[in-house]
Amino acid sequence: MRSLVTLMVMLAGLWLGSVAYAAEGAEVTTLVLKAQPISQGERVTLGDLFENAGDQAGVEVVRIKRAGDRVALDGQALKAFVSKQGLSWPNTEGRNRVMVTRAFVRDYVSPADAEPKVRVPTLNTIVRTGDIIRQDQITWSEVPERLLPNNYFALPEELVGLVAQQTIRPGVVIGKATLKPEPLVRKDELITVVYQAPGLAISLRCKALGDGHKDQAVRCENSTSKRVIDARVIGESLAVIEAANPAVQVADVRGQ
């Protein structure tokens, strides 16, 4: 929410004329000021400011142009304005100013229904198993904190390029187990495997026996010797064997 902008508004001269009082002997309602006055729209009314404005709740007091802005109403001027409507606000709190905020309508909830919410990236369309997430499929949603899984994606950029492991519906919080990176090595494709050791480098072609993501181990079959070796995925269709025991590893790679 943007930073609140405080606007000092003096009602006197804007909304007030001469003060009118209730007819002698008439019953006058004593208003109770709300603890945190909030307006849900541009018009700030007596009902936004007071708990028991009754039939006068819709009387406009001032306007706030932008959502998120605040207005400071002069206490004495507000008291006089209330009297003009045939009501009473004795201002027993001694308020010099009364602050009122124009809320973002989508964020507004009554105090009774309020609960902590978290803004998280979700999808704006259904995504099926095997689909790759695109930037234009991502939107923001506000979700009650109690409904969040233990491990979820918090930033949109974390989702782009990942592959859905199951069907994901719009607006659902996305747990990290439901998306995985796209494999750099795919089962049954021919890949390049590089064997690296001090003073030695061997490159050969192998058939991947399973999918592999970056830095994952993948088993592959030497296309010449048919020997199965383990390698670490470092790029698209590329894996590496980093020798701990060169004498043994060379024999494995060459299929001797």
Give the CATH number, domain containing residue 155: 3.90.1210.10
In angstroms, what CA-CA distances link 116 with 108, 144, 146, 186?
12, 6, 8, 43
Asked whether residue 75 is assigned to any structural domain, the reply reads yes
- Pair 12, 99 in one domain: yes
Question: pLDDT tens digit string along 211-232?
Answer: 988 888 999 999 888 899 899 9
Asked whether residue 65 is assigned to any structural domain, the reply reads yes
Out of 159, 181, 203, a domain closes at: 181
**Nearest alpha carbon to residue 127 among 140, 141, 138:** 138
Q: One-letter amino acid identity for 42?
A: E
- Pair 38, 58 in one domain: yes
Confidence of residue 165 (pLDDT cuts 50, 70, 90): very high
Let me know: does 149 contact 106? Beta carbons within 8 Å: no
Question: pLDDT tens digit string along 185-208?
Answer: 999 999 999 987 777 888 889 999
**Nearest alpha carbon to residue 177 among 160, 165, 168:** 165
pLDDT on residue 109: 52
Residue 15: is its pLDDT beyond 60? no
- Pair 22, 84 in one domain: yes
**How far apart (Å, rounded) are the C-alpha atoms in residues 168 and 212?**
23
Asked whether residue 232 is assigned to any structural domain, the reply reads yes
The three-state DSSP-derived secondary structure of 97-136 is EEEEEECCHHHCCCCCCCCCEEEEEEECCCECCCCECCHH
- Pair 11, 99 in one domain: yes
pLDDT on residue 117: 79
- Pair 85, 16 in one domain: yes
Out of 153, 181, 209, a domain closes at: 181
- Pair 128, 177 in one domain: yes
Out of 84, 107, 130, a domain closes at: 107
Question: pLDDT tens digit string along 112-158?
Answer: 455 677 889 999 999 999 899 999 999 998 888 888 888 888 888 88
pLDDT on residue 111: 54
Asked whether residue 112 is assigned to any structural domain, the reply reads no
Residue 24: is its pLDDT beyond 80? no
Q: What is the mean pLDDT of residues 99-103?
A: 86
Number of domains, the chain: 3
- Pair 48, 126 in one domain: no
Token pair 């949109």: residue: 156
pLDDT on residue 252: 53
Question: pLDDT tens digit string along 54-98?
Answer: 888 899 999 988 877 888 888 888 998 999 988 999 988 888 889
Confidence of residue 8 (pLDDT cuts 50, 70, 90): very low
Token pair 């790029």: residue: 235
What is the domain range of residue 212? 190-254
Q: Counting beta carbons within 10 angstroms of the beta carbon of residue 73, is it exposed (0 to 12), middle (13 to 18) or buried (19 or more)?
A: buried
Question: pLDDT tens digit string along 106-118?
Answer: 555 555 455 677 8
Asked whether residue 246 is assigned to any structural domain, the reply reads yes
Let me know: does 137 contact 158? Beta carbons within 8 Å: no
**How far apart (Å, rounded) are the C-alpha atoms in residues 241 and 217?**
10
Asked whether residue 1 is assigned to any structural domain, the reply reads no
- Residue 215 sits in a domain of what CATH number? 2.30.30.760
- Pair 49, 101 in one domain: yes
- Pair 101, 169 in one domain: no
